[in-house]
Structure 1
């Protein structure tokens, strides 16, 4: 759902009718009930707003979902899956939370994992690059319990070993291998009546799931056969093949109206 909204509504200040969303998802094989339930859940989670025009319900993006989608755009189209430009800087983040704060600890660790951090030691996490942490910490209200630094390793530190001990490289690589296995034959099948919009939505969603848990570790410290580059090249080739025709289909199917920002239900 976020892929659909992000690709065809982000930045347009419009809302889309539930009926047209359901029609698009029907092409992907998702039933009406599941599509409607997803729209409702996303409203309840603050990811979509609702507005009614006559008897028709329309849905638009919120500030929160726009931030999520912009971050996804940056990861896919700007940062990429392979970190070739690492400058040797690490971000260290230490935290100390009361034992009773199990929920806050879980939320912080989840946010840190999303941001590319790994657990260097108990209560001390590390990420490659100068990663901004103020939004993560501020959103959880943990400013007084967290300290963060930008640092570099001293000579003699075995960075390769540190990475292997901090991150599960096999677990990070596995989704890339699975992505290639799933999509490698798609290029030869696109001419056989494949729906370009379906391919666009599914492959973009698949790719974002692959890279969202990848901390983008510096490539010079990864195994020589690291699969991210080949998987990314495959994604880009397939996406470009279907992009223009998918956009034309979406323009025809999606019923949009200007988004009334003041309405949230």
Structure 2
């Protein structure tokens, strides 16, 4: 299979949406190198994915309105910088994309209980944010997670000003007490089969790249950049609703772990050529560091073990 055939098949089956693809480019490609860029540079980077100039401009305006970016005019040219809010959102997503799932689990749960007060909009936003952090609704108004990210929760509480309206508790099952155990009850609260199906689709698409495309030919720098961007874009979408439960709670053949390992291996294989393409497009003053892909990616704290 040739690269163009694989690419056309993937884009035909699941063409990336403009906003989602640009967020991938901001997080994976731009933010680690520089927090600001010319609009023309982003238009060039987005073109191979079927995003035309008008769509890029419209989407960038939307991202600016949503607080991701801030604009600065330089004559007839526009330069954009990723805001502190945008960088915080990228850092939050980075942990979900590039960090491995925890292996072990000590049996301790984090319970989140919104207290009375606040309007319906506030509670709906809190529910969405807790679900984004992987919490599941165990009962009406009670959310649970076995591996809550404490820093993410602190950021959430500060951002939504929840200091006196969200109660966080730790809990474990009581040994020797007859009653429903939290573990099987909670496992039913997450749509694990739906999540696994997304991962299996990702594995099918990118196993074809790993087995049939990469060994058959040497990709150009641009092709490597396209493949890397689509790799992270599709993995991000597959993992979007993954609660990142400890592997000890999941089946040994959990598709999420298989997808993560495939993504990591391909990312490392594509890194050097894709980084060279990106730096050339951005006309960066600094040259790529003379390190291995493993070292370069580790410096970005991507795909590195946490235990």
TM-score class, shorter-chain normalisation, is 0.7 to 0.9
Aligned to 1:175: 198
Aligned to 1:245: 273
Structure 2: runs of 5 or more not aligned: 1-21, 286-307
- Equivalent of residue 207 in structure 1, options 235, 239, 246: 235
Aligned to 1:262: none
Distance in 2 (CA, whole Å) between partners of 1:87 and 1:10 is 35
Distance in 2 (CA, whole Å) between partners of 1:216 and 1:11 is 24
Aligned to 1:143: 163
Given that 1:15 and 1:256 are in contact with CA atoms closer than 8 Å, whether structure 2 keeps it comes out as no
Offset at 1:61? 0.7
- Equivalent of residue 85 in structure 1, options 90, 104, 109: 104
User: What is the aligned residue count?
Assistant: 254
| Counterpart secondary structure, 2:242 | coil
Aligned to 1:189: 213
Q: Does 1:162 align with 2:193?
A: no
Output the TM-score relative to the length of structure 1: 0.87
Distance in 1 (CA, whole Å) between partners of 2:284 and 2:160 is 35
Question: Greater relative contact order: 1 or 2 (C-alpha under 8 angstroms, separation 6 or more)?
Answer: 1
Offset at 1:64? 0.8
- Equivalent of residue 122 in structure 2, options 93, 104, 129: 104
Given that 1:197 and 1:247 are in contact with CA atoms closer than 8 Å, whether structure 2 keeps it comes out as yes
Given that 2:147 and 2:246 are in contact with CA atoms closer than 8 Å, whether structure 1 keeps it comes out as no
| Counterpart secondary structure, 2:188 | helix
Offset at 1:85? 2.8
Aligned to 2:93: 72
**Aligned-pair Cα RMSD in Å:** 2.2
Aligned to 1:261: none
